[in-house]
Amino acid sequence: MAKNQKKAIGKGIRALLNNMEDAPSSEKKGALVKKPAAKTGVAMLPLSAIEVNPSQPRTQFDEDALSELADSIRMHGLIQPITVRRLNAKSYQLISGERRLRASKIAELKEIPAYIREADDRQMHEMALIENIQREDLNAIEIAVSYQMLIDEYKLTQETISERVGKKRSTITNYLRLLKLHTDIQAGLKNKKISMGHARALAGIRDLITQCTAYEEVIDKNLSVRETEDLVKKYNKPLKEKKEKSSDTLSDEYLNVQKNLRSRLGTKVVLKANDKGKGQITIPFTSVDNLNDILDLIGYQEN
């Protein structure tokens, strides 16, 4: 038994010696032979081989924060790899980690660690959006735009997005409401003149001009979120009262006429009348064909 073991050991050594003799001279001397990056997994990639993602949802980068990150990278290296996809044998496209990539360039690194993932254009864009949403340094508008892109371009529902990013559906809804704000208010949110709570409250005003008026009041008076919510109620109250007053001016007889016209013409006819019997009838239409149908119903004839 011992002889067999010894023979096996001796055979293993001879095989090892034979392999060493067959190996390239560089390997014999202990030189490192650099292997090409794997198709997937983590690898060290040259910075010059990585191109940015043109669909990157993030548009603002704090220069001071980038400099601080670059200093940290010079001292400790890049601890968290970026994520890329392979374009060809020598080039890659960034999926996520543009801030780390920019800071690594400032730190004058030649190569950095990267997760290489297989992804087509759609998968890459979707992954980039989702991974960026999960980061804490995007501003609220950038997050809202990312959610909207997932809905518009990839037909994802709010429920599906909720599952993928680990957020409540109500949170996603609140972010999407920010896109209904006037651009000046969106800019104020980006620049931290107002908080997410202020912006959510202001989104409750539909009219953009009124939104801006309320926004300026919030800034001028330095209102809290609660005070902003009360302000929005004040701006919305006159519109609601006006609508209710308009409806109240119609008697049952007028309301019956309006109902019959809507039924006969197949469109949302609006009848208005004052106490003196003066008023107007509005007949909306959705297309030329729809208008012609209405004209036929009321017996319109060209001269």
Chain segment 18-35, per-residue pLDDT in tens: 443 444 444 434 443 344
Question: Same structural domain for residues 97 and 49?
Answer: yes
Question: Same structural domain for residues 261 and 284?
Answer: yes
Cβ atoms of 9 and 75 within 8 Å: the answer is no
d(CA 7, CA 84): 50
Question: Same structural domain for residues 108 and 50?
Answer: yes
Question: Same structural domain for residues 191 and 254?
Answer: no
Tell me the residue ranges of DSSP E strands in 23-177: 41-46, 50-51, 82-86, 92-96, 111-117
Per residue in 50-97, pLDDT tens? Answer: 998 776 666 677 788 889 999 999 998 888 899 898 888 889 999 888
Last residue of a domain, one of 91, 119, 147: 119
Q: What's the domain range around 83? A: 41-119
Question: Is 253 annotated in the active site?
Answer: no
In-domain check, residue 31: no
**Is the whole model's pTM more than 0.85, yes or no?**
no
Catalytic residue among 21, 68, 98, 118: 98
Question: Same structural domain for residues 255 and 185?
Answer: no
In-domain check, residue 53: yes
In-domain check, residue 108: yes
- pLDDT for residue 48 is more than 90: yes
Cβ atoms of 20 and 30 within 8 Å: the answer is no
> In the beta sheet, which residues pair with residue 239?
none
- pLDDT for residue 212 is more than 50: yes
Res 146: pLDDT: 85
Res 259: pLDDT: 85
In-domain check, residue 275: yes
Res 217: pLDDT: 94
Per residue in 34-43, pLDDT tens? Answer: 444 556 678 9
Contacts of 186 (CB under 8 A, 6+ apart): 141, 178, 179, 199
Question: Same structural domain for residues 242 and 254?
Answer: no
Question: Same structural domain for residues 257 and 226?
Answer: no
Question: Same structural domain for residues 257 and 205?
Answer: no
Express as a percent the part of the chain with pLDDT over 70: 79
In-domain check, residue 158: no
Cβ atoms of 116 and 125 within 8 Å: the answer is no
d(CA 258, CA 242): 19
Last residue of a domain, one of 75, 91, 119: 119
In-domain check, residue 238: yes
Last residue of a domain, one of 119, 141, 157: 119
Coil, strand or helix at 269: coil
Tell me the range of 177-191, 229-243, 252-266, 289-303 where mean pLDDT is highest: 177-191
Q: Residue 87's domain is classified under what CATH number?
A: 3.90.1530.30
Domains contained in the chain, number: 3
119: amino acid identity, one letter: A
In-domain check, residue 258: yes
Instruction: Give the DSSP letter of residue 122.
Output: H
In-domain check, residue 2: no
